[in-house]
Amino acid sequence: MALGGVWTRAKPYMAMVFLQFGFSGMYVISVATLKRGMSHYVLVVYRNAIAAAVILPFALWFERKVRPKMTVSNFLKIMALGLLEPVLDQNLYYMGAKNTNASFSSALYNVLPAVTFLSAIVLRMEKINVKKRRSQAKIIGTLVTVVGALLMILYKGPVVEFIWTKGRSHHNNTAGSQDDSHWLAGVFMLLGSCFSWSAFFILQSNTLKSYPAELSLTVWICFMGAAQSGAVALVMERSVKPWLIGFDMRLLTAAYSGVMCSGIAYYVQGKVMKERGPVFVTAFNPLCMIIVAVLGSIILAEEITLGRLIGAIIIVIGLYSLIWGKSKDHLTQPSETGEEMGALELPIAATDAIRSKSADHATAVEIPSARIP
């Protein structure tokens, strides 16, 4: 029982760490592919089309009995989700990353937890009581995370050499060496992408309450995203050449991004979000930056500077503080929501587990008693 309880509590953390490694691979290979000339408009279409095709069989099978009916309200929400993430977020990110680089774009995304946290407060999805330690930890963690991200952006410092970078020539494509107009445009595109992704998390959390089928919702989002981004791509890419891809890096990027970062990511984020909320999901984003910085230096020969390294350490500290505050929220949530007659709710994960076994438990108790004369 104790081991099962530890596993249940650890699953949300392990799932989000797993996703950060998945996102890290996408950051690296997508930047490499875009800098080789692939159209980001076409990449978004293929990415979401592949994700929808891969997840569809699982949604049809596993959610055939629990899938709710589609309503006009849910359909409009899904259309908005397809616009926010596949169309706006992904296109803006790819354009911004192309004008900067993989590690810089992932570093700038560290403002995502802070943006989501503030949005959740405004929409009353997140409760703050400055007198309580857990709320103070979340506020301080958010501020520290933003400070670390700003340090990484504004302070470059000397290049830090690691074992795997000694004797290698770096691609000096950091923010300061880019053309100023392209770099500035890339920064604004990345910020726009970040705000779109934050809005997507908030709306996804709301949609799951009225459409609690994570796999089916994932398919709908990817399908709508492919359709809407396809319309945009047809306007922006009027020749046939950008659409032609073979068994090369472009196909790998579309397949990996679609399956891992759209299909699996939407599903896992939805599952975790139902239990812990959107702020918990976005709080792990800074880990991706650290992984990308290492992978970028190894694969793309990007520089790791002292400012980026110090900023990463500060971000980890802020991340720990924010997650600690969220974990305390989760543990005290039952007592704060209140129950009639003074009874306390069980934590959500435990309640779901008991509900899933309630039928078997009822069978073992009620059937024998019904046969007693």
User: Are 42 and 242 spatial neighbours (Cβ–Cβ below 8 Å)?
Assistant: yes
- Which pLDDT value is given to residue 336? 45
- Which pLDDT value is given to residue 180? 61
Whether 127 shows a pLDDT value over 90: the answer reads no
Give the model's confidence band at 254: pLDDT under 50 very low, under 70 low, under 90 confident, else very high.
very high
| pLDDT > 90 in the chain, percent | 25
Whether 347 shows a pLDDT value over 80: the answer reads no
Full domain range(s) for residue 200:
2-333
Give the model's confidence band at 236: pLDDT under 50 very low, under 70 low, under 90 confident, else very high.
very high
- Which pLDDT value is given to residue 203? 92
Whether 76 shows a pLDDT value over 70: the answer reads yes
Per-residue pLDDT tens for 180-229? 677 778 888 988 998 898 899 889 989 999 999 999 999 999 999 999 99
Helix (H, G, I), strand (E, B) or coil at 184: helix
- Write the CB contacts of 335 (distance below 8 Å, at least 6 apart in sequence): 344
On average, the pLDDT of the chain sits at: 78
3-state secondary structure 10-45: HHHHHHHHHHHHHHHHHHHHHHHHHCCCCCHHHHHH
Tokens in use for 322?
A: 């924010």
Mean pLDDT of 153-171: 67
CA distance 217 to 157: 45
Q: Which long-range contacts (CB under 8 A, 24 or more apart) does 8-15 make?
A: 8/349, 8/350, 8/353, 9/349, 11/349, 12/272, 12/275, 12/276, 12/280, 13/323, 15/268, 15/271, 15/272
- Which pLDDT value is given to residue 30? 87
Ranges 96-100, 151-155, 167-171, 230-234, most confident: 230-234
Per-residue pLDDT tens for 356-369? 444 444 444 444 44
DSSP label of 159 = B
Comparing 372 with 143, which gets the higher pLDDT?
143
Asked whether residue 369 is assigned to any structural domain, the reply reads: no
Per-residue pLDDT tens for 45-72? 999 999 999 999 999 999 988 899 899 9
Asked whether residue 364 is assigned to any structural domain, the reply reads: no
| pLDDT > 70 in the chain, percent | 80
Asked whether residue 329 is assigned to any structural domain, the reply reads: yes
Asked whether residue 356 is assigned to any structural domain, the reply reads: no
Q: Minimum mean pLDDT among 175-179, 241-245, 251-255: which range? A: 175-179
Number of folded domains that form the chain: 1
**How many other CB atoms are found less than 10 A from the CB of residue 68?**
13
- Write the CB contacts of 7 (distance below 8 Å, at least 6 apart in sequence): none
User: Are 285 and 319 spatial neighbours (Cβ–Cβ below 8 Å)?
Assistant: no
- Tokens 């992978």 sit on residue: 295
- Write the CB contacts of 132 (distance below 8 Å, at least 6 apart in sequence): none
How does DSSP assign 328-339, residue by residue? Answer: HHHHHHHHHH--
Tokens in use for 343?
A: 């009874």
Mean pLDDT of 294-321: 77
Mean pLDDT of 279-300: 76
Sign of CA dihedral 289, 293, 295, 299: positive
Per-residue pLDDT tens for 21-48? 888 888 888 888 888 889 999 999 999 9
Tokens in use for 19?
A: 């996703």
- Which pLDDT value is given to residue 319? 75
User: Are 107 and 308 spatial neighbours (Cβ–Cβ below 8 Å)?
Assistant: yes
Sign of CA dihedral 334, 340, 343, 345: negative
Mean pLDDT of 285-299: 75
- Which pLDDT value is given to residue 48? 95
DSSP label of 294 = H
Q: How far is CA 95 from CA 34, 46, 122, 366, in A?
A: 9, 16, 29, 62
Tokens in use for 307?
A: 């400012």
Q: Give the helix ranges, DSSP H, for the chain.
A: 2-34, 40-62, 72-82, 90-99, 102-108, 112-122, 133-154, 180-210, 214-236, 249-256, 265-276, 278-282, 285-299, 306-337, 348-370
User: Are 351 and 345 spatial neighbours (Cβ–Cβ below 8 Å)?
Assistant: yes
Amino acid occupying residue 85: E
Mean pLDDT of 148-165: 74
Helix (H, G, I), strand (E, B) or coil at 305: strand
Give the model's confidence band at 124: pLDDT under 50 very low, under 70 low, under 90 confident, else very high.
confident
Nearest to 151 by CA among 305, 290, 284, 310: 310
CA distance 31 to 29: 6
Sign of CA dihedral 197, 203, 209, 214: negative
Give the model's confidence band at 330: pLDDT under 50 very low, under 70 low, under 90 confident, else very high.
low
- Which pLDDT value is given to residue 174? 44
